[in-house]
Amino acid sequence: MPQQSMHAWSITRQTRKKYTVTTYRFVLSRFREQFEKWRIDKISSEVIFSFLASLTEGKKQATKYTWCAVLRAFFNHILHRFEFSFKNPCDSRVIRQVFRPPRIGSIAIIDREIVDEIIYTTTPMRDRLILELLARGGMRVGEILKLTPADIDGMKITLLEPKSGWEQEIVFIPKRVAERLRNFIRDKGIGARERIFPLTYGGARLVVKKAGERLGAKLRPHDLRRFSATFASRAGVPLEVVSKVILRHKNLSTTQRYLGKISDVEAMRWMDNLHG
């Protein structure tokens, strides 16, 4: 066999998606510190379990799952690249049970009337636009903070280096939001490659939090992104469009976890609309 112990490190760098660089670097550097002198096919599931248990001690279940997934992907890459016959040590039943995905409970979705009032009563225009891009465009706050005028073409926004790892993604926003955004850029004299919203992530979260507090709502940026998906779904937009166009998820299962729980009142209203 080739010197496979750590030869795949340089190869793995090429396969990492940009949004996972930090996580991959951390997990794989720790793995390398411990196993650099080992033959890769001699690392057992028991050894991997011990390593992951130590590495993730005290961490949330989501972190445990993500870090285990990084290591599983690393081994899968090696197995595919060198056509080895040994089993991925991260695929044992015990590891999959202990480092499983976190359970996601039902998510409370803010009513449309409240979201509309939060947006309509928010000033200055910068803050309102941030809220609208979250709630009307389904954007992530990190994507909004990177926006420049050069990324915007009417109702279409091109995201460079998005979270998905693709070279770019497209976001579509309502015409009225696009017009307000264009006027804001013009009035502020923002250059083509300048950030439209030169805030920190914490600053943007504070904008959303304060906007919600004015109406007694506990609000985070991701709550508005979830609202955009749930509102579209309730309005009859096909799940595939919600998933691929609004949220830009790779899997429909991810989108389904975003959609809020239907209350009894809403269920009765839908049935009445359908058959009343």
Q: For residue range 207-226, what is the model confidence (pLDDT) as tens digits?
A: 999 999 988 888 999 889 88
Cα–Cα distance for residue pair 161/168, rounded to 1 Å: 6
Reported as half-sphere exposure (CB side, CA atoms, 13 A), residue 97 has a value of: 3
Cα–Cα distance for residue pair 241/251, rounded to 1 Å: 12
Q: Is the pLDDT of residue 164 over 70?
A: no
Cα–Cα distance for residue pair 253/233, rounded to 1 Å: 14
Which of 118-127, 159-168, 262-271 has the least mean pLDDT? 262-271
pLDDT band at 241 (very low <50, low <70, confident <90, very high): confident
Q: What is the DSSP string of 197-253?
A: S---HHHHHHHHHHHHHTTT----HHHHHHHHHHHHHHTT--HHHIIIIII--S-HH
Cα–Cα distance for residue pair 248/251, rounded to 1 Å: 9
Reported as half-sphere exposure (CB side, CA atoms, 13 A), residue 162 has a value of: 18
Cα 243 to Cα 45, 55, 141, 221, 222, distances in angstroms: 36, 34, 18, 18, 15
Provide the β-strand partners of residue 159: 169
DSSP 3-state of 151: helix
Q: With CA atoms as reference, report the closest residue to 222 among 239, 237, 201.
A: 201
DSSP code for 41: G
Return the pLDDT at 22. 84
Q: Which amino acid is at 203?
A: G
Q: Token digits for 93?
A: 């039943």
pLDDT band at 257 (very low <50, low <70, confident <90, very high): low
DSSP 3-state of 263: coil
Q: Is the pLDDT of residue 107 over 90?
A: no
Return the pLDDT at 275. 58
- Does pTM surpass 0.85? no
Q: Is the pLDDT of residue 103 over 90?
A: no
pLDDT band at 231 (very low <50, low <70, confident <90, very high): confident
Task: Specify whether domain 112-275 bears CATH 1.10.20.10.
Answer: no
Which of 21-35, 102-116, 252-266 has the least mean pLDDT? 252-266
Place of tokens 């790892």: 165
Residue 99: partners with Cβ closer than 8 Å, 6 or more residues away: 52, 56, 64, 65, 67, 68
